[in-house]
Amino acid sequence: MTNEELMKLLPDPQGYRILIAIPKKDETFKDSQIVIAESTRQKEEIASIVGLVMKLGPQAYKDPEKFPDGAWCDEGDFIIMRSYSGTRFKVTTPEGDQEFRIINDDTVEAVIADPRVVTRL
């Protein structure tokens, strides 16, 4: 499935909400061949604090009093948010399941360049 086909399947966030894709966790531990259990990977994805901004709702970051300096993130940015935040759902494609969240615009806590360097504590 192409990225364009996936984007057509995804819901459009409404109001001040943002659609976030949750990166899939690695199947093995870093620098080893030890396989991480599927249940463990799923728990880590559920509690993830990192996401990829897929779509911004039409009112996201439009409130000049709340966001006087403009948007905190853009489509394509990796962001940090609180664990378990937002409305969780998954999209099933031929390539497998992908978790997404819809969060409020003020839930974004930081923009990061490389999500692989961030670990939840």
**Is a pLDDT exceeding 90 seen at residue 58?**
yes
**Is a pLDDT exceeding 80 seen at residue 45?**
no
Domain enclosing residue 34, as ranges: 3-117
Tell me: the pLDDT tens digits for 98-107? 899 999 999 9
pLDDT of residue 84: 85
Tokens of 45: 């994805």
89: domain CATH number is 2.30.33.40
Secondary structure of 63-121 in HEC code, one letter for each residue: CCCCCCCCCCCCCCCEEECCCCCCEEEEEEECCEEEEEEEEEHHHCCEEECCHHHCCCC
Tokens of 51: 């996401």
Q: Give 45 or 21, the one with higher predicted confidence.
A: 21
Q: What domain count does the chain have?
A: 1
Tell me: the pLDDT tens digits for 70-93? 999 999 999 999 988 899 999 988
How many whole angstroms separate alpha carbon 48 and alpha carbon 42? 10
Q: pTM here?
A: 0.84
How many whole angstroms separate alpha carbon 101 and alpha carbon 99? 7
Q: Give 4 or 14, the one with higher predicted confidence.
A: 14
